Amino acid sequence: MLLEMKGAAVDYGRVSAVRDISINVEEGSVVTIIGGNGAGKTTTLRAMSGLARLSRGEITFDGKRIDNLPADKVVGLGMAHVPEGRRIFPDLTVEENLRTGAFLRRDKVAVAADLDKIYAKFPRLKERRSQWAKTMSGGEQQMLAIGRALMSDPRILLMDEPSMGLAPVIVEEIAVIIEELSAQGMTVVLVEQNAELALELADYAYVLETGNLALEGPAKELHDNEHVRAAYLGI
Amino acid sequence: MLDLLLQTGLNALYSASYISLVAVGLVLIFGVMGIVNFAHGELFMAGAYVVVALYSGFKLPYLLVAAIGLIFVGCLGLLMERTMFRPLRTNPLGGLVASIGFLMILQALASMTFGVRMAFVPPVTQEVIEFSERVRLPVQRLYVILAAFGFLTLLWLFLTKTRFGWALRASAQDPEAAALQGISINQTAKIAMFIGAALAGIAGVLTAPLISVNPHMGHSVIIAAFIVAIVGGVGSLEGAVVASVAYAFVHTFVTTFFDGVIADITGLSLMLIVLIIKPTGLFGTADRA
Ligand SMILES: Nc1ncnc2c1ncn2[C@@H]1O[C@H](COP(=O)(O)OP(=O)(O)O)[C@@H](O)[C@H]1O
Ligand SMILES: [Mg+2]
């Protein structure tokens, strides 16, 4: 297992946000966590990348305990997190945003090569490389957030609702990007409210309900599950 | 009359130079750490007293004293970061109160070591550039102008062309998203405190031969720096520089043609007007205000 979360719980003060969460992510797979608003998806992802502390349980990445590491150390191990709401740096240029994603990497040649790759993948970022990031559209900002995460040369990509607030055409583009990344061997943890999209992209899925894991299984099976269809797919 | 205008313009340029050095540091620290450093005027004062101790006292060469002053006051900034602002990271009000405490400690140390009266600093140079009979620029003032220009250019290059510069700006804009890129807030806070303090220190070093050096000299400059930081748009370094120039020109001209008290009132009134018209300051964006 590349990433393992075991019996994890996160509290905000005295309020429990998620509890007893166990999630396994196999190298090269796409795992999705779906659930309604406030179910605890973001909290789970934040715990993985070190932004939220566990009150119980543990997380191992490539066999190494990471639940006590701060976020700025976790990324160095190869975990990149595309946060909810994109969180690009508004007053940095597009290129500065991307280069900031490679902050911990010292190999300038490899960084330059990755920058070229990202510009090839997202031509619009290249066109706008010297613009302020805040001047870009929502879809472009999401591409930038993904590009910035890829610039750290991660082994696993955590994505928190990449489709949020975007037009269907753009959502389709993002889906294609995730498929391509996966085809190239990237391990992905995808958090989505858009269950239809998530189950289509993922190999394995977890369903979170009010802070608890309600269901898990291969994405195809969950797609046919009565409860999932009724509650999340609106069928 | 033209002579008087030109002369006043030169005086204003000189004020703008050291005020912007102080204000930019204040804004940088606020941007990265979210803390209003009330001791910033005393860092300026500390720079001036380095000159009193090493240049007036030990007669070391001025350039060497300037380098020592820059580093010494920068290290005071690091000390503040480590002992006060880091433990109080999640408590900006606590950080503000601690910085007031630090202000008092620095003033007390200066008074005990050097006395409360004005300290003597011999001129570094007596030379004066005479543009005409009544338009004169003392070379020491020229040093202040050139140094401010040089240091602000260096700062700009650092912030826009280096990875630590990007990191500093990223962490000022969104510390959590910056952490996700591997940028530790402890690291950027140290850099911001060193640079911010060192800029105030060098301003003190540069002006020491030109103004009255005493333990309370930080007051007037910090008030100017606060006004400038607010008018420029809290969090905007460009805003701080532009507002420094604007403020210094208004203040110097009103002082020359009316008097100093009216100039202070004018400065504050202009700040209020800017805030009424644009509450985020000239260059500010809403999220940090
Ligand atoms: N910073 C916070 N402080 C207090 N409660 C929070 C905070 N963030 C999230 N929560 C609560 O934790 C629960 C899970 O939230 P979240 O992880 O954001 O859910 P989701 O991403 O699935 O919408 C919710 O009940 C939410 O109100
Ligand atoms: Mg969420």
The ranges assigned to domains in chain B are: 11-127+136-217
| A185 and A138 both lie in a single domain | no
pLDDT in tens, B22-47: 999 999 999 999 899 999 999 999 99
| A123 and A190 both lie in a single domain | no
Interface of chain B toward chain A, CB-CB under 8 angstroms: 163, 166-167, 169-170, 173-174, 176-185, 285
Do the domain assignments include residue A93?
yes
Would you place residue A230 in the very low, low, confident or very high pLDDT band (cuts 50, 70, 90)? confident
| A176 and A146 both lie in a single domain | no
Hey, CA dihedral for B243, B249, B253, B259, is it positive or negative?
positive
Structure tokens, A206? 């977890």
Residue A184: pLDDT over 80:
yes
| A132 and A164 both lie in a single domain | no
Per the prediction, chain A carries an average pLDDT of 96
**Number of independent structural domains in chain A:** 2
Q: With an 8 Å Cβ cutoff, are A103 and B163 in contact?
A: yes
Residues framing ligand 1 (Cβ under 6 A): A 12, 15, 17, 35, 37-43
Residue A222: pLDDT over 90:
yes
Q: With an 8 Å Cβ cutoff, are A101 and B181 in contact?
A: yes
| A212 and A167 both lie in a single domain | yes
Closest in B166, B178, B179 to A96, CB measured: B166
Structure tokens, B271? 């700040």
Whole-angstrom distance, CA of residue A164 vs CA of residue A170: 10
Low-confidence ranges of chain B (pLDDT < 50): 288-289
Tell which residue, B74, B35, B72, B22, has the closest CA to residue B218. Answer: B22
Rg (CA), chain B: 19
Tell which residue, B19, B17, B31, has the closest CA to residue B193. Answer: B31
Most A-contacting residue of B160, B174, B181 (CB-CB within 10 A), to test interface = B181
CA B223 distance to own-chain centroid: 11
Q: Which atom of ligand 1 is nearest to the CA of A46?
A: 17
| A73 and A181 both lie in a single domain | yes
Q: How large is the average pLDDT for residues A127-152?
A: 97
| A231 and A178 both lie in a single domain | yes
Distance, in angstroms, between A231 CA and closest chain B CA?
32
Q: With an 8 Å Cβ cutoff, are B166 and A92 in contact?
A: yes
ipTM of the complex: 0.95
Domain that holds residue A120: 88-153
pLDDT in tens, A58-113: 999 999 999 999 999 999 999 999 999 999 999 999 999 999 999 999 999 999 99
Distance, in angstroms, between B12 CA and closest chain A CA?
31
Predicted confidence at residue B220, as pLDDT, reads 86
Residue A71 vs residues A19, A51, A55, A66, A151: alpha-carbon distances, Å: 21, 5, 16, 10, 16
Tell which residue, A78, A30, A45, has the closest CA to residue A178. Answer: A30
Q: With an 8 Å Cβ cutoff, are A89 and B183 in contact?
A: no
Using DSSP, state whether A15 is helix, strand or coil: strand
Query: In this structure, what are the phi and psi dihedrals at residue B214, rounded to the nearest 5 degrees?
Result: -150, 165
Whole-angstrom distance, CA of residue A213 vs CA of residue A215: 6
Q: Which residues of A touch B177 (CB under 8 A)?
A: 83, 87-89
What do you get for the CA distance between the two ends of chain A, in Å? 34
Instruction: Give me ligand 2 centre to Cα A180, in Å.
Output: 24
Do the domain assignments include residue A15?
no
Predicted confidence at residue B1, as pLDDT, reads 83
Instruction: Give me ligand 2 centre to Cα A42, in Å.
Output: 4
Q: Which residues of B touch A72 (CB under 8 A)?
A: 179-185
Predicted confidence at residue B237, as pLDDT, reads 81
Q: With an 8 Å Cβ cutoff, are B179 and A100 in contact?
A: no
Do the domain assignments include residue A60?
no
| A74 and A159 both lie in a single domain | yes
Query: Among the listed ranges A28-32, A60-64, A145-149, B238-242, which one has the minimum average pLDDT value?
Result: B238-242
Q: Whose CA is nearest to atom 3 of ligand 1?
A: A12
Structure tokens, B72? 């010494």
| A72 and A174 both lie in a single domain | yes
